[in-house]
Structure 1
Amino acid sequence: MTATHSARMQEKTPIESFDVVVIGAGPAGSVSSALLRQNGYKVLVLEKEYFPRFSIGESLLPQCMEYLEQANMLDAVKKGTFQYKNGAAFSRGDEYEYFDFREKFSPGWGTTFQVQRDCFDKILADESQKQGVQIRFGHALVACEEIPNARLLTALDEDNQQYQVSAKFVLDASGFGRVLPKMLKLEKDSSLAPRKSIFTHIEDNIVCPQYDRDKILITVHPKLPEVWYWLIPFSNGRCSLGVVAPTEVIDEIGTEPLACLQQLVSEGGRLANILEHAVYDTQVRSLGSYSCDVTSLYGKRYALLGNAGEFLDPIFSSGVTIAMTSASLAAAAVHKELSGQSPDWESEYADALKVGVKTFKEFVEGWYDQRFQQVVFSKQKSEGITKMISSILAGYAWDKENPYVKTPSRLSTLSEICKSA
């Protein structure tokens, strides 16, 4: 947009002023906007879609509960009749192991929920609105300019008409939309290998008495250890089902998404038996090369939250936890900045957030190179170490008292011990 065009728009329409504009009304956007509103700020959220809308990332981690409490949203979530969750189960061939999040090293919540994100995200957005946050659904950001003491944002409304607002600070919680990284050329390739995911919701019709609906089930392909499946049960007899594989594995199957997913599930050993009566009644979606990164998590009067910054991998369901952690950290730093306290964004936000991201990343890499799979399926587990690992899987990847958070590379040593045992 040229300066002349910008000036003309300003002449035609008065520019609204906000303390903070948040891009996206998902978990990171709703939590951060509510936290900022609690401190009295005038907050606007621009959300290009209309809620409820489909989204993946349905298996929350217990660490999320703390942020929902902070944002005064937990009571509303508890009323949502979501599926109770107390751990994660792992299956490979005839092997079956699980981690109970109530038996962990770190203090805090040991249970949470598995949620259908269309309903969950709407509850969070509704709660932020009840607290005084203004959300404009169907509005998309198209430009973000730096002006003296603020950011000038140009948006499109529901009728595709442009208007402008100014903000003292902008938070990008646009998820995979990655609005500011694309607009400000902040994107860079992830260090993680490219993979592809195919997923859907099903009527599960599970009758297997050994199946535990209180846990997410992660299944490893019996012959291809880099291929794994998630099965996330909901409270209404439905499940989220997905498979993650190297891109070439899915491309080699060469069929349309539903047939590809069903073929891979049929090869899943125990999973195939669990889902023998499943009804595939929902569109199968796919997402490729989803891992992403940025050159910086913040800049002058803006910061990136959750997936808008860095997304790792669906394994361990870390996405929403990282998003909510970033929302809490960023809201605190924005509050300091708008109060004239000059926060150190590198140490108080970027470095603080990267503690957990680095921990999860080590475990993601360890999953695909089999170091962590060696730990998961070990038959000789130390109770103390199991609790430390359980804490990380429960989302407490920022607890520096945990040796595997303080030094994530300890996973390699643990894997060797398990292998030799």
Structure 2
Amino acid sequence: MSSTVFGIPDDFDVVIIGGGPAGATAAGLLAQRGRRVLVLEKERHPRYHIGESLIPAVMRPMDELGLTDLMDERGFERKYGGSLVWGNEQIPWNFSFIKGGKFSHAYHTRRADFDALILNRARELGAFVMEETTVKDTIENEDGRVVGVRYQIRGMDEVREARGSLVVDASGQARILSRKYADVTWHDELRNVAVWTYFDNCHRLPGDEWTNILIEGLEEGWFWAIPIEKGNMSVGYVTRSEKVGSTDKSLQEVFNAERERTTRLKELLKDARQASGFRTARDWSYTGTKFYGDGWVLVGDSAAFVDPLFSTGVALATLAASVLAKVIHKILDHPAIEQEALRRYSDAYKSFFDEIRMFVERFYDRTRHKEFYYGLAQELVDPEKKNEPSKDFVTLISGLSGQHALFKIDLEDVELDSLTATSS
């Protein structure tokens, strides 16, 4: 095995593009299993990213990585539920994660700190991590199989190569491999635009709602308010892309005008001062047409992303990364099962994503009462109606539907077939 000037080899079991939550989780869990992993990350952590509010499903992969206690030690704000002004007559209501399953809380956190925590853990577990590194292209063999990537370190002219048995695209919405080998399907019902900023000196929700995320719906969109630390909040407004295109107002003007129409949010911000500029994002909801190919596989936002209404992005990405790490570990032991194993991963991942997406699409009907939304959740996760609809609602938006096929991918039959074929 050759070595670069940085002491990093150029042959690996797995090369991962992207060191965000999905890539770092997959890298850490593969390294934990003794696999040789390289992570190529474009930025240097800590780096800014939106998505400060997490849901309890993220605790499953964080537990596997051994990070749950450290999240408390680092002072991340625990999140026990959510408060909504949503539905017919705009009646406030709330939910508690205690009803949803194994994990009774998640966290609000600055993503720069959270993402750096996972990436550093991947390093501790043995993954090689190269930051400020741009992937330029894939390397294919004579049969068209992806066998590695070419990359360039910031400030250096040389383009280097790294080869691996599998290449994982965890590059987020940059979609490095997804753009080359697949396409995306945009979900028209969720073609939205978001504009957000940060405020200091904010008030908090009262009593047991103190650490809740606030989601306040209006006629044309909705606001999030996420308490990050002390009096600081992330506040964003989401609306249909065509609504913004049909007005002469800027996104910032729309944000400020709509904020004045809120009830609970306006109260939280009555003494606040804006602490940063505005940021925007468009067309957040899509699904890749392919999640894998010959020698490559997608995970996280490179594969699919759904509207941020219930803060599912990080949890979905890290859960999928956890499952993918297990699948890849099996593939490396039994290379002949690669295509079937990745097919099962892809099918289960798409199904889990679609379950959340369909719920979000139907939840956008703000003409209903909360019991209607509870019933929607029950249809998806508990069609036999074994639990109360309110419990099913919390289970779904916690991302903890443990009965889903994503958490039960069984490769024993294809492993056995592979061993039988090898011995015969």
Please state which band the TM-score falls in when normalised by the shorter chain: 0.7 to 0.9
Alignment of 1:133-152 (within 5 A): 133-147=127-141, 151-152=147-148
Match of 2:178 in 1: 181
User: Which residue of 1 is the match for residue 392 of structure 2?
Assistant: 388
Shift of 1:374: 4.8
1:159 is aligned to 2:155: yes
For residues 339-418 of structure 1, what are the structure 2 equivalents within 5 Å?
339-340=333-334, 342-343=337-338, 344-346=340-342, 348-370=344-366, 374-375=370-371, 384-400=388-404
Counterparts of 1:308 and 1:360, CA distance in 2:
17
User: Gapped runs of 5+ residues in structure 2?
Assistant: 1-7, 379-384, 406-424
Q: Please say if residues 204 and 210 of structure 2, whose CA atoms lie closer than 8 Å, have aligned partners that are also in contact.
A: no
Structure 2 partner of 1:115: 109
Decide which moves more: 151-160 or 80-89: 151-160
Distance (Å, rounded) in 1 between the aligned partners of 2:261 and 2:208: 18
Change beyond 3 A, Cα 1:296–1:219: same
Q: What amino acid is aligned across from residue 286 of structure 1 in structure 2?
A: T
Q: Any unmatched runs of 5+ in structure 1? A: 1-13, 402-421
Deviations 1:95-142 (A, max 9, x none): 1111111013xx411211111101111111111111111111110111
Partner of 2:63: 69
How many equivalent pairs are there?
A: 383
Instruction: Name the residue aligned to 1:201.
Output: 198
User: Which ranges of 4 or more aligned residues in structure 1 deviate by more than 6 Å?
Assistant: none
Task: Let me know the Cα RMSD of the aligned residues.
Answer: 2.7
**Which of 216, 221, 227 lines up with 1:219 in the alignment?**
216
- Cα distance in structure 1, aligned partners of 2:112 and 2:372: 32
Deviation at 1:185, TM superposition (A): 3.9
| Preserved CA contact (<8 Å) 1:110 1:394 | no
Identity %: 26
1:79 CA drift (Å):
1.6
Q: How far apart, in 1, do the equivalents of 2:201 and 2:393 lie?
A: 30
Shift of 1:216: 1.0
**Which amino acid in 1 is paired with 2:59?**
M
Counterpart of 1:245 in structure 2: which amino acid? Answer: T
| Counterparts of residues 268-347 of structure 1 (less than 5 Å) | 268-340=262-334, 342-343=337-338, 344-346=340-342
**Residues 1:153 and 1:336: Cα distance change in structure 2 (over 3 Å):** same
| 2:382 counterpart residue number | none
CA drift of 1:235 comes to 2.4
TM-score by length of 1: 0.84
| Post-superposition offset of 1:254 | 3.3
279-288 vs 337-346, which moves further: 337-346
Structure 1 residues 190-245: Cα deviation after superposition (integer angstroms, max 9, x where no partner): 35441101112221421664682321111001xx1x51111111123211111110
For the residues of structure 1 that align with 2:205 and 2:398, how far apart are their CA atoms?
26
Q: Which amino acid aligns with 1:168?
A: S
Which of 238, 247, 254 matches 2:232? 238
Q: CA deviation at 1:45?
A: 0.6
User: Cα 1:145–1:371, aligned 2, differ >3 Å: closer, same or farther?
Assistant: farther
Q: Residues of 2 paired with 1:227 and 1:206: CA distance?
A: 23
Deviates more, 1:111-120 or 1:342-351: 342-351
- State the 1:398 CA deviation: 4.6
Distance 1:399 1:286 in 2: 36
Question: Measured at CA, do residues 248 and 40 of structure 1 come closer, stay the same or move farther in structure 2, by a change above 3 Å?
Answer: same
1:255 shift after superposition? 3.6
In structure 2, relative to structure 1, the CA distance for the partners of 1:174 and 1:375 (3 Å cut) is farther
The answer for the alignment partner of 2:187 in structure 1 is 190
